Amino acid sequence: MEGNLDRAWVGDACSLVDAYRKKELSPVEAVQASIHALEHSDLNAASYIDTERALEQATRADILLPFGGVPFGVKELDHVAGWPYTEASLVFKDNTTTWSSTYVDRIADAGGILTAQTTASEFGAVNYTSTPIHGTTRNPWNTDTTPGGSSGGAAAAVAGGLLPISTGGDGGGSIRIPAGFTGLVGLKTTYGRIPKGPQCGQFPMTVTLGCLTRSVRDTARFLDVCNGYDSHDNLSLPKVEGYESGLGSHDLAGLTAAISVDLGCAIVASSTAALVENAAELLIKEAGLKRVDVAVTLPPLGMEWAMSNLVTLMAELADFYPECEHDLIPELQFGMNIAYNHYDLKTAAAAETSRVVLSETMAELFDQADLIFSATNPDTAFAATGPVPTAIEGRDLISELGFEGALANNGALTIPANMEGNPAISIPAGFHNGLPVGLQVMARHHREDVLLDIALLAERIMPWPLTAPYLDR
């Protein structure tokens, strides 16, 4: 099935490179198949397809390179020289970019074929992908539901069997949330692991770069290719070698682990909680981890996270705002209106105080446990067109958490790792009513290697389908 030339590759990216080397198919055939699948899909996973350049690059692909000849999706919040750069917004609908992001160049240098721009939520602001400029992106497990956001197009393309791998970005869960909704592997790295340059801003130090993949080894290979210091990002970390070659080599036995499905800061559906609890218990047992009882109560951070990130949005909009207000999605209109009229030193100080409180809380947690298991999302995927749900299993979140708390609930489980900067991974944990459920595992800073080995164990003992049965319809 993987090598059927009438359809896009439905194995992982590493196995596609292996297939090239065995002469089972060629990069041109694989790229053509992905382009055909993207063009004939109703998932709306791509906002731009670079057919001519992708096919030309495929003709001279070096299959000995790590991703030699692999068709890649690139999230539309990343730069690729010559491609549109709209940030999924009508405000910048006519923009193109003249330069490429550092890690995109590294993908190309490793043989990746930059094939399509995958859709995102506007400025990466919400965790579903439906915009006035590109329309609604849909989940291949159930096209009435969202693949999440902001890396929604990346998740839809990879889980839908259109592209074997795509870049993503995670500023509040934007890799992990779509991974959880679509049954993929989604790693949010330690802040600075993959450089954000050139021309990168650092405040509020929440955004990390990464990928959406079908397998753990794809994520590890991607890390090997993309991580490492770059002079255009003054907070980027030194190169770490051997993520892929080191898979399965770490002694997990004896590490301590805590399970807190809701992290003490979210309301989680009982169906999700049961699947996550069972998956976490199984992994703890099979890995030989030592489960510890830790009281986990992370502070609610939705408003502080939102206000801080709106500072960077204001920098991007610059002189276009407030005249462009009506071109923005309603959530951004609402947030920018509050920030523009009420953000001040007191608000900034409150956000910074919240970050310090979180940092101390997380330090205390990781003093007691090496790993923290939770749900990735409070529930399975919601409506493709949004908005973010304010009810779970009949519970009215507005009455329980207030309006702001209800809106923040869907990102409450993922935002803490962004604010703290530590790594976290979403691993498929099963299905409820035909929709994937994600298990999130958090670790201390710089321990991506341990998270990858936990995910590798999960892949072996509770294997997941690499794609939705979307192309079989």
pLDDT in tens, 151-183: 999 999 999 999 999 999 999 999 999 999 999
Closest Cα to residue 147, out of 180, 125, 169?
180
Tell me, yes or no, if 285 is annotated catalytic. no
Q: Which of 174, 215, 260, 308 is catalytic?
A: 174
The pLDDT score that the predictor gives to residue 473 is 62
The CA distance from 232 to 250, in Å, is: 33
pLDDT in tens, 360-388: 999 999 999 999 999 999 999 999 999 99
The pLDDT score that the predictor gives to residue 439 is 99
Q: Please list, residue by residue across 270-296, b when 16 or more beta carbons sit within 10 angstroms of its beta carbon and e when fewer do.
A: ebbbebbbebbeebbeebebebeebeb
Give kind and range of the element (H or E) at residue 258. strand 256-259
pLDDT at 318 over 70: yes
Q: How confident is the model at residue 29 (pLDDT cuts 50, 70, 90)?
A: very high
Q: Which residues is 14 bridged to in the sheet?
A: none
DSSP string, 421-467: ---EEEEEEEEETTEEEEEEEEESTT-HHHHHHHHHHHHHHS---SS
pLDDT at 6 over 80: no
Sheet holding 256-259, edge to edge: 46-49, 113-118, 71-75, 165-170, 208-213, 185-188, 424-432, 435-443, 371-375, 256-259, 290-291
pLDDT in tens, 250-271: 999 999 999 999 999 999 999 9
The CA distance from 134 to 138, in Å, is: 12
Across 301-323, average pLDDT: 89
The pLDDT score that the predictor gives to residue 309 is 87
The CA distance from 277 to 442, in Å, is: 15
Q: How confident is the model at residue 300 (pLDDT cuts 50, 70, 90)?
A: confident
- In percent, the amount of the chain with pLDDT more than 90 equals 90
Q: Which residues is 165 bridged to in the sheet?
A: 72
The pLDDT score that the predictor gives to residue 5 is 54
Where do the domains of the chain lie, and which CATH numbers do they carry?
13-300+346-472 (3.90.1300.10)
The pLDDT score that the predictor gives to residue 121 is 98
Q: Which of 47, 130, 150, 236 is catalytic?
A: 150
Q: How confident is the model at residue 304 (pLDDT cuts 50, 70, 90)?
A: confident
Across 427-444, average pLDDT: 98
Q: How confident is the model at residue 201 (pLDDT cuts 50, 70, 90)?
A: confident
The CA distance from 259 to 218, in Å, is: 27
The pLDDT score that the predictor gives to residue 342 is 87
The CA distance from 263 to 255, in Å, is: 20
Contact status, residue 200 vs residue 146, Cβ threshold 8 Å? no
The dihedrals phi and psi of 242, each to the nearest 5 degrees, come to 85, 25
- Over the chain, what is the mean pLDDT? 96
Least confident of 23-37, 202-216, 305-319: 305-319
Closest Cα to residue 222, out of 73, 95, 405, 120?
73
Peptide bond connecting 469 to the previous residue in cis, omega within 30 degrees of 0: no
Tell me, yes or no, if 359 is annotated catalytic. no
Across 101-118, average pLDDT: 98
- In percent, the amount of the chain with pLDDT more than 70 equals 98
The pLDDT score that the predictor gives to residue 1 is 37
pLDDT at 337 over 50: yes
Query: Residue 264: helix, strand or coil by DSSP?
Result: coil
The pLDDT score that the predictor gives to residue 376 is 98
Tell me, yes or no, if 75 is annotated catalytic. yes
pLDDT in tens, 39-84: 999 999 999 999 999 999 999 999 999 999 999 999 999 999 999 9
* Burial class for 433, CB neighbours closer than 10 Å (0-12, 13-18, 19+): exposed
Q: How confident is the model at residue 204 (pLDDT cuts 50, 70, 90)?
A: confident
